Amino acid sequence: MRHSILMDGVFMSKRSGFTLVELLVVIAIIGVLVGLLLPAVQAAREAARRMQCSNNLKQLSLAAHNYHDTFLVLPSGYIDTVPKVDNEGYWAWSALILPFIEQDNLHEQLQVNSLRPSQTMALNQAVMQTPVSAFRCPSDVGPEVHNEAVSAGYAIAKKPGGGNFGLPVCNYVASNGTANVRQKQATNMGLGTSGATGAFYRDSRVKLGDIKDGTSNTFLIGERAWEMNAVRTDGGTAFAVRDANAAGPSAQDAGNAAWNQGLVTIFGTTRWGINPPVTAPNSEMQNSYMSLHPGGVQFGYADGSVHFIAETIETNQLSPWYIDSPLEALAGIRDGEPVTSP
């Protein structure tokens, strides 16, 4: 606003406005408001991402149920092939449930029922690298497809005749048990060293009725982040698994799949707890369940429900082979240790 006043016969102009001090005060107030509101906005965005992740797990858990309704068993952890062929790859549980998450066309293009993964890749590499939104947590920071130039060897697949190609990233892994990843089901369901104590393993055919601890007390699928604390874990892979074991009798034993085995890209275990301090480059803790949601990981249960489990849940790392803690009991299907979900 402009005012004119008369002083000594001369009209003078007086301008009204902010002083420098007033301007600095306003800027400081705006800065404080932004500082107060930004965490709230970020928290709201993370809450929305976590809800979408929960919806993904709900969809995958119900898909496993619908698969069971159709075939009377849960999907296999991965389908073995006989005779074994090195680097051919095996179809994983994520490929088997595609028709039950409205991905019938992709399932047909992959030719899961008639070809091996490497054969499909030879015909159509693009379809083998198709991202599926239901397999990705919105909070995750990883790429849609593994980069064969930088991803770990167990996160990529072999091309016929040589060379590699990256598989799609999947932020969800199936429950294999409590020790390191195992190929066969445990002979003693309370002891991880004797095999897999979870619902998924090689050629598994677990029925819901086999989950003696109760479907509401047993999880089927959990999260796997692509990166934790600035350390790349490579997350999981969709559709196929590259089993690093050589073809032949040695691949038939119970198997102790360490970090460099392809099985860790489709299975998770509770050996190291939730969100462990993964170290680069070859930490066995990459077997674990982990997420970028603050404080824990979400799991899809055998009854179709989804639960958030805090990273502080008790797990006994001093005796990782035995099911003797709440987290381990939630992973085992019939260890005789039913635990109410957190």
- pLDDT tens string 308-328: 999 999 887 766 667 788 999
User: What are the backbone angles phi and psi of residue 270, rounded to the nearest 5°?
Assistant: -100, 10
Which of 31-40, 284-293, 309-318 is least confident?
A: 31-40
- pLDDT tens string 214-267: 999 999 999 999 988 878 777 888 998 876 554 433 333 344 444 335 788 899
User: What are the backbone angles phi and psi of residue 117, rounded to the nearest 5°?
Assistant: -55, -40
pLDDT higher than 80, residue 87: no
Angular region, 220: left φ>0, alpha ψ -120 to 50, beta rest: alpha
- pLDDT tens string 292-311: 999 999 999 999 999 999 99
- pLDDT tens string 103-125: 999 999 999 998 888 888 888 88
Share of residues in the chain with pLDDT > 90 (%)? 42
Residue ranges per domain, the chain?
56-331
pLDDT higher than 50, residue 98: yes
Averaged pLDDT, 42-48: 81
State how far the Cα of 137 lies from the Cα of 50, in Å rounded to an integer: 8
Which of 31-35, 82-86, 185-189 is least confident?
A: 82-86
pLDDT higher than 90, residue 7: no
Which amino acid does the sequence have at 301? Y
The pLDDT value recorded for residue 92 is 94
DSSP letter assigned to residue 8: T
* Residues 6 or more apart in contact with residue 8 via CB below 8 angstroms: none
Q: Structure tokens of 218?
A: 């047993």
